[in-house]
Structure 1
């Protein structure tokens, strides 16, 4: 259905203690979904727990190499865009400021369908902070991404209706 994720060698699923995938059919165009994923001002409307995103290094839009700060999973996080293929795929890697050895890589694959878009997201996580956060509920990150996809689908449909 789609190309494989371009994992950094040290963040592959086989080397990561936390790895999960989520997918969803969205009744909105790939262009609308892409516009939401790349418009960091829109993230608080669909990304669970995100209150703010700040682009760094004088960037004003997402592109390969764009660095950013945000808050995810209750943590202040610094990330950078590692993959950027318009309307098709985007991925970012980074980690919490409080635990530099804890890292994550989050990829999105966007595929057009007859009724809109198929969204696939996959993430790997490593390091003590993520492992500690997952101990009380091992599927917490997967469930959060299910909510993320549900919210993103809703916002995309609303944006197309507006």
Structure 2
């Protein structure tokens, strides 16, 4: 794990934990979006990020959120849920990393999401989030996603990249909600 170390001249920031299968650059599409802002806290961001019942209030590219095996509405380690995004039918998602932010410890959330079917329909995703308070009353929110499958390759070929822009809209909405 990379830790944040601040000295007079340098800062090393935390990074996403990547399972080998989803390493950036090894799939069919990868995007990385990040914001660092004042006026929000990691705890406030975490609330809106880990409660999918709030997502549609600040992000218009998500729908049909459900918890087929029960649980929810808040995400937790091992929870299964589903949601639609980017025009795909609801994807089956599974939380694989969940660590709430704490003093000096970044919040970490990641889930896999899959769509089965014919080869041209199959999609396998890891979407990861890192939320951390920084010095000076700032918060950093990093989200990265690796996608594997033909639908991902099709998204990656589009200009502008819809996943890159969609995730930026998610970040912007998330930070705005957490800043209220």
Q: TM-score range by the shorter chain?
A: 0.7 to 0.9
Q: Distance in 2 between matches of 1:119 and 1:77?
A: 23
Q: Which residue of 1 aligns with 2:123?
A: 102
Write out per-residue CA displacement over residues 136-161 of structure 1, whole angstroms, 9 at most, x where no aligned residue.
32522111111111111111112xxx
SS of 1:15's equivalent?
coil
With normalisation by structure 2, the TM-score equals 0.79
- After TM superposition, give the deviation of residue 102 of structure 1 in Å: 1.2
Radius of gyration: which is bigger?
2
Q: Which residue of 2 aligns with 1:111?
A: 132
- Aligned-residue CA RMSD in angstroms? 1.8
Q: Distance in 2 between matches of 1:121 and 1:22?
A: 5
Q: Which residue of 1 aligns with 2:153?
A: 131
Comparing 48-57 with 24-33, greater Cα deviation is found at 48-57
Q: How does 1:3-82 map to 2 (within 5 A)?
A: 3-26=14-37, 27-60=39-72, 61-75=74-88, 76-82=90-96
- Structure 1 residues 133 and 20: CA distance shift in structure 2, 3 A: closer
With normalisation by structure 1, the TM-score equals 0.87
Structure 2 unaligned blocks of 5 or more: 1-11, 102-106
- After TM superposition, give the deviation of residue 97 of structure 1 in Å: 4.9
The 8 Å contact of residues 41 and 52 in structure 1, kept in 2 or not, is answered as no
Structure 1 unaligned blocks of 5 or more: none
Write out per-residue CA displacement over residues 75-132 of structure 1, whole angstroms, 9 at most, x where no aligned residue.
1211111110012110111123556631111111111022231111111111001222
Q: Does 1:157 align with 2:171?
A: no
SS of 2:63's equivalent?
coil
Q: How many residues align?
A: 158
SS of 2:21's equivalent?
helix
